[in-house]
Amino acid sequence: MARLNQKEKINKLIIHTIIIIGGLTMLFPFAWMIITALKSYGESIMIPPTLFPQEIRLDNFQKAWNALPFIDLYTNTLLLIFWRVFFALVTSSMAGYAFGRIEFPGRNVLFSIVLIQMMLPPQIFIVPQYLMVAKLGWLNSITALVFPGLVSAFGTFLMRQFYKGIPKDIEEAAILDGCNHFTIFRKIMLPLSKNNLVALAIFTALFAYKELMWPLIANMSLEKMTLSSAIASLKGQYDTEFPVVMSASFIAMWPMLLLYIVFQKHFIQGIAFTGSKG
Amino acid sequence: MRVKSVNKQKASNYFWGYVMSAPSIIGLMILNIIPFFYTIYLSFTESDGLSAPTFVGVENFTRLASDSEVWLSVMNTLYYTVLSVPLGVFLSLLFAVFLNNKIKGVSIYRTIYFLPMVVAPAAIAMVWKWILNSQYGILNFLLSKLGIDNIGWLINSKMIIPSLAMVTIWSTLGYNLILILAGLKNIPETYYEAADIDGANGVRKFFHITIPLVSPMLFFVLITSLMAALKQFDYYYIMLDPSNPAIDKTQTILYLFYEYAFTINEKGYASAIVLLAFVIIMVFTALQFWMQKKWVHYE
Amino acid sequence: MKRLLSLMLVVLMIMALVVGCSNDADQKGEATGKVDTKQDESKEDTKEEAKDPVELTFSIWDNNQKEGMEAVAAAFTEQNPHVTVKVEVTPWNEYWTKLEASAVGNSMPDIFWMHTNEFFKYATNKKLMPIEDDMIDQSKFSQGLVDLFTYEGTLYGVPKDFDTIAIFYNKELFDAAGEAYPDDTWDWDKLVEVAQALTDVENGIYGLGAPYQSQNGFYPFIYQNGGTVITEDGKSGYALPETQEAVQFYFDMIHKYKVSPTLEYFAENGTNDTFTSGKLAMFITGSWKMKSFSQNEIIADKFDVAVLAKGKERASISNGLTFSGANDTEHPEEVRAFLEFAATEEAHIIQGKSGAAIPAYENTQSYWVELFPDYNVNVFVEMLDYSVPFPTTPSKPKWGEVESSTLKAFGTGELAAEDAFPYLAEEMDKILEKE
């Protein structure tokens, strides 16, 4: 018995070591980002680089804060995330349910449209979607930002995987009672997939947050842009001030990080096939 | 009577199947499928993007077939995919299994592994560019302490693809890990307890319980990683300078597409290239769906 | 089968829809020169009366120049109180993607910068507002600059600024090596000689940078050697021995004279950071760098500029930008008024004082020169006398790509001269022929 414990301890130790090494690898670029953000411009391009800032320059954060209209950017990013999440939740949960649990002719053909969207490179959508937004007169607005993400192929696929995992017997009783699928969806499945929807929401939010090209194309002014694309626009044609860009990135990552930390528990539970436990 | 109610049931199924999938499908048709058909149309034309396209038949495709630049980019894309996807999914699975243990501070670790997801892509690119700089980067600095000579991570045409695959794995590990972890959380303890009674060891348990039960999520992760890898463009675009002489030898198919579409202004040929990319992605995805029957277990 | 047929039908319908739409839009744009449909909600209310407030959008790609452009816009608003101009910056790459998309969708910004790289595409598709002779006085601008933006006899933009290429050098490194600063007596031999004297490989210091750049790289050398990129009869200049010799000389800096880091090095570190961090004694680049270098806390007191060294003859490259207007703008009158204003001495003085670029209007360059009293910036203006306009043709995007991939391979030593030049000349000729 004692021996087993010993073995277990060694196992734990190995696992711990690997996790810590992995964690340090994950953290290292962040450490470097923060270190760079604290350096003066001169020091940031020093050859060879200094490991720790010779003098700590907090004014980079000041500069970054002044360089971009962060209040607008936070607002736009949050609005974009809110609407994208809202639409993704509504459309993807319904479609995911239909593809995962309802038998209907043409289901596979229609589902293949979802897969096709996922297979297509996003670059081919930019110009046509721009034309649609322009025709509709939505350029330079939050609507323009939200538009390409009104529906989510990724979300539909994800929700389909969830619903497919739920055992058949859960709804059998309801079907015998003569309930239609929409009622089952609303009364049984949606409550079951509450956590799943949180997961979908977080993924949608992350993708919206990371979107780079579309906000730059659809919206002209900095005041109408999102955090990620505004940071990309800091890189001018000729110049890059690393410390300022790093500071700006640091300022920009907090909302998403907080969102993740707050919802972490739901998030992980959410991706699990909660249904199969019942 | 019974037959009638079954028919009625069927009709109701059909109705709700269409109605519930309609918003997504209509949205996808307008936002994505129409542009897709427009791309197909463009691939049979010549256009600079502004002038009206002129029809040229299959000229773009015959050119494509004999264009060594295109096939090199296809090989590069596949190479990048082979380097980034299996290792990436494996590492995500490994760390997910580890983080599924009851370990002190596990939620802190999860947060750390998830960190790359919340950083703006431009920032990721810049940090890594600086870390991987061959002369002054911190990575080569550390390696030199181990007696390893300068490695041109982002300039040597043999190293660029592995380097970018590495950055990809780093930046997507947390995302894949969370998905798989959630799948693991779903496996009832009782399965393992039963296996313990049978005297199964850890490896056996992993392959006979963990893998099959987490397989739907693993499949999802695999499919999405595969598609993302075959569509790789971003890191090339933001991490490599256009003056880099190695770009021509290491570019992916979508980078080549972007060049033709937006730098050289040959929309027709660019569309043909992107359709080739689409066909390749489709083949791989179809292969995955076909193979899933062998290893993915749905309830 | 039936399903397949219906699917095909849907496909055809969709295609007809899309194609129909874009044709429709094209015709509209061409026939009337403007679009009646409202593209932007904010502009809706401006049609009723001419003096209703109008907001024009003005799109640029350089953050350094935002303030200068806003100053020009403010001065314009002072004279035309009902018109405000909003300056918007989009990074270079996305700028062109966006401009193209907006041109297709007839929703271009009212005013925008145009660059020689992309000029022909927009000019041939009638997306630019023609600058009629009565709008501006062309004689106030250098002919070379006007020619760069003239297509089939019509000028399509108001010359905004010009740039020329000069030697930027690090005085500290020159002093340390006991070398005299570059001046107008220098020729190619002297350039190499001093570059070699300044190179100190052990400490990672190089005498003269030779990155893969055309305008601020090997182009000036080509013209200094009596060569050309495009011959007068519209063929590739890379078949000429003078051109080949000059390109060879340029990349010899890396391989033969060993005074420059490799192309790979510059792909990673860029010339600017290398120069700023004191690892590069000389490199050639354009006047557009003056503002940021002179404000850079590290390099500002350590550098100066000099004319390019003389080859068989003197030459620099001049390029420029224009203020261009959208042909399909909803406010043609206001845009025309702005362009007319942009062509005045006043606008160019304001621009010159902002320091980002040398104003194009004659005799306003001194306002820019005065901003840099500590530097020999007069050379940029002097060199205009013998500068060659940036070589470009309508198929530049295509041959530029061949040029860059071939010469990059040549510059790394992977392709030999006898393979690179004949191939490049032949491929370029094929593309040029189709124009």
A217 and C297: CB-CB below 8 Å?
no
Cα(B82)–Cα(C84) distance, rounded to whole angstroms? 54
Is omega for the bond preceding A29 within 30 degrees of 0, making it cis?
no
Average of per-residue pLDDT across B217-224: 89
Pairs of CB atoms within 8 A across B/C: 92
| In contact, C343 and C134? CB cutoff 8 Å | no
Per-residue pLDDT, B175: 87
Average of per-residue pLDDT across C76-98: 90
Coil, strand or helix: which one is C150? strand
B193 touches chain C (CB under 8 A): no
| Residue C346: φ, ψ to 5° | -55, -50
B240 touches chain C (CB under 8 A): yes
As a residue count, chain A comes to 278
Q: Which two tokens stand for residue B54?
A: 């002129």
pLDDT exceeds cutoff 90 at C371: yes
Chain A neighbours, 3+ Cβ pairs < 8 A: B, C
Cα(C347)–Cα(C340) distance, rounded to whole angstroms? 10
| Residue C326: φ, ψ to 5° | -75, 130
Per-residue pLDDT, B28: 96
pLDDT exceeds cutoff 80 at C38: no
Q: Which two tokens stand for residue C234?
A: 């519209």
| In contact, A275 and A193? CB cutoff 8 Å | yes
Chain mean pLDDT for chain C: 88
Cα Rg for chain C, rounded, in angstroms?
Answer: 24
Per-residue pLDDT, A272: 57
pLDDT exceeds cutoff 90 at C324: yes
Residue C238 backbone zone (phi > 0: left; psi -120 to 50: alpha; other: beta): alpha
- Closest alpha carbon to B73 in B270, B288, B241: B270
Give the angle C319-C322-C325 at the CA atoms, nearest 5°. 155
pLDDT exceeds cutoff 90 at B6: no
| Tens of pLDDT, residue by residue, chain A (278 residues) | 556 678 778 888 888 899 999 999 999 988 888 888 898 887 877 767 778 888 888 888 988 888 888 999 999 999 999 999 999 999 999 999 999 989 999 999 999 999 999 999 988 898 889 888 988 888 889 999 999 999 999 999 988 888 887 777 777 777 777 788 888 898 888 888 877 888 888 889 988 998 888 998 888 778 888 998 888 777 654 456 778 888 888 888 888 888 878 877 777 666 655 333 32
A139 and C40: CB-CB below 8 Å?
yes
- Closest alpha carbon to B30 in C38, A218, A133: A133
Cα(C275)–Cα(C292) distance, rounded to whole angstroms? 13
Q: Could you give the C-alpha distances from C67 to B9, C62, C64, C111, C371, in angstroms and in order?
A: 68, 10, 7, 16, 15
Of B14, B233, B299, the CB nearest to A276: B299
Q: Which element (helix H / strand E) includes A17?
A: helix A2-38
Going by DSSP bridges, is the β-strand pair C280-286/C206-208 parallel, antiparallel, or unpaired?
Answer: parallel
Chain C neighbours, 3+ Cβ pairs < 8 A: A, B
Per-residue pLDDT, A2: 55
Chain mean pLDDT for chain A: 84
Coil, strand or helix: which one is C50? coil
B39 touches chain A (CB under 8 A): yes
C97 touches chain B (CB under 8 A): yes
Chain B neighbours, 3+ Cβ pairs < 8 A: A, C
pLDDT tens digits for range C43-61:
444 444 457 899 999 999 8
| In contact, A240 and A57? CB cutoff 8 Å | no
B50 touches chain C (CB under 8 A): yes
| In contact, B218 and B184? CB cutoff 8 Å | no
| In contact, C287 and C357? CB cutoff 8 Å | yes
CB atoms within 10 A of CB B104: 7
User: Does residue B200 or residue B55 have the better pLDDT?
Assistant: B55
Per-residue pLDDT, A236: 54
pLDDT tens digits for range C193-245:
999 999 998 888 999 999 999 999 999 999 999 999 999 999 999 999 999 99
Q: What is the distance, to the nearest Å, from the Cα of residue B248 to the centroid of all Cα atoms in its chain?
A: 22
What residues contact C189, with CB distance under 8 A and at least 6 apart?
none
B50 and C103: CB-CB below 8 Å?
yes
pLDDT above 70: percentage of residues in chain B: 98
pLDDT tens digits for range C376-410:
999 999 999 999 999 999 999 999 999 999 999 99
Per-residue pLDDT, A239: 55
Per-residue pLDDT, B4: 56
pLDDT exceeds cutoff 80 at C249: yes
Q: Which two tokens stand for residue C323?
A: 């203020």
Cα Rg for chain B, rounded, in angstroms?
Answer: 24
Average of per-residue pLDDT across C62-87: 92
| In contact, A59 and A77? CB cutoff 8 Å | no
Confidence of residue B12 (pLDDT cuts 50, 70, 90): confident
Record the pTM. 0.88
Confidence of residue C168 (pLDDT cuts 50, 70, 90): very high
Per-residue pLDDT, A277: 31
What residues contact B121, with CB distance under 8 A and at least 6 apart?
A210, A212, A228, A232, B234, B238
Per-residue pLDDT, C358: 94
Per-residue pLDDT, A4: 62
Amino acid at site C152: E
Residue C157 backbone zone (phi > 0: left; psi -120 to 50: alpha; other: beta): left
DSSP character for C217?
A: I
Of C61, C94, C105, the CB nearest to A135: C105
Among C residues 19-48, those touching chain B with beta carbons less than 8 Å apart: 19, 22-23, 26
Pairs of CB atoms within 8 A across A/B: 275
pLDDT exceeds cutoff 90 at B107: no
CB-neighbour burial class of residue B293 (10 A; exposed 0-12, middle 13-18, buried 19+): exposed
pLDDT tens digits for range C256-289:
999 999 999 999 888 988 999 899 999 999 998 9
Per-residue pLDDT, B287: 92
A260 and B220: CB-CB below 8 Å?
no
Beta bridge partners of C205: C200
Per-residue pLDDT, A235: 65
Per-residue pLDDT, B39: 94
Of B121, B136, B238, the CB nearest to A210: B121
C104 touches chain A (CB under 8 A): yes
Confidence of residue C80 (pLDDT cuts 50, 70, 90): very high
Using a CB-CB cut-off of 8 Å, the residues of chain B touching C127 are 50
Cα(C229)–Cα(C116) distance, rounded to whole angstroms? 15
Per-residue pLDDT, B101: 81
A108 touches chain B (CB under 8 A): no
pLDDT above 90: percentage of residues in chain C: 74
Q: Which two tokens stand for residue A19?
A: 């996790």
C429 touches chain A (CB under 8 A): no
A99 touches chain B (CB under 8 A): yes
DSSP character for C298?
A: T
User: Does residue B162 or residue C295 have the better pLDDT?
Assistant: B162
Strand order, beta sheet including C303-306 = C206-208, C280-286, C165-170, C303-306
A263 touches chain B (CB under 8 A): no
C100 touches chain A (CB under 8 A): yes
Alpha helices in chain B (DSSP H): 2-28, 34-42, 59-65, 68-99, 106-114, 121-131, 138-145, 160-185, 189-197, 202-205, 211-230, 234-239, 247-250, 253-258, 267-295
Taking the CA of residue B158 and the nearest CA in chain A, the distance in Å comes to 23
Cα(C108)–Cα(C111) distance, rounded to whole angstroms? 8
Using a CB-CB cut-off of 8 Å, the residues of chain A touching B102 are none
B261 and A123: CB-CB below 8 Å?
yes
DSSP character for C310?
A: B
